[in-house]
Structure 1
Amino acid sequence: MHELNWQKSSFSEPGGADCVELASSTTGIHLRESDDPEVVLTTTPRALRVLLDSIRLGRFDHIR
């Protein structure tokens, strides 16, 4: 995979671990955990939007 411009939330502490990082490219949206940056999940913008909307709507609250 080519060099990606990884971004994390502005709420994350500088240099802190335990952050989900996002990057975009022509092949999709890439997600990784800052503690394990070699593992990258790639998805489409639409699929990520559906997931985030589902989380916001509480569709996974029963899993707790």
Structure 2
Amino acid sequence: MSEASTGVWRKSSYSGDTGGECVEVAVQPQGMRVRDSKNPAGPRLGFPVDAWAEFLGGALHR
């Protein structure tokens, strides 16, 4: 995935304002980007649309 456009980063509504262990996601045309909210300049993971949809489907059925 291209680093040129990372989209708008969003944190879960379940995350508090006190820090902790949170991730943020950004929607891109090619899929999703994921980063550690405590280290926004750090490494990012990229997932194609179909892989992200499969992940969410599995998470919803837990």
**Contiguous gaps of at least 5 residues in structure 2:** none
Higher relative contact order (CA 8 A, sep 6+): 2
Higher helix content, 1 or 2: 1
**Contiguous gaps of at least 5 residues in structure 1:** 59-64
RMSD: 2.0
Kindly report structure 1 stretches of 4+ aligned residues shifted beyond 6 Å. Answer: none
Identity %: 29
Q: How many residues align?
A: 58
Q: TM-score, normalization: structure 1?
A: 0.66
Give 1 or 2 for the bigger CA radius of gyration.
Answer: 1
The residue that corresponds to 1:30 in the other structure is: 33
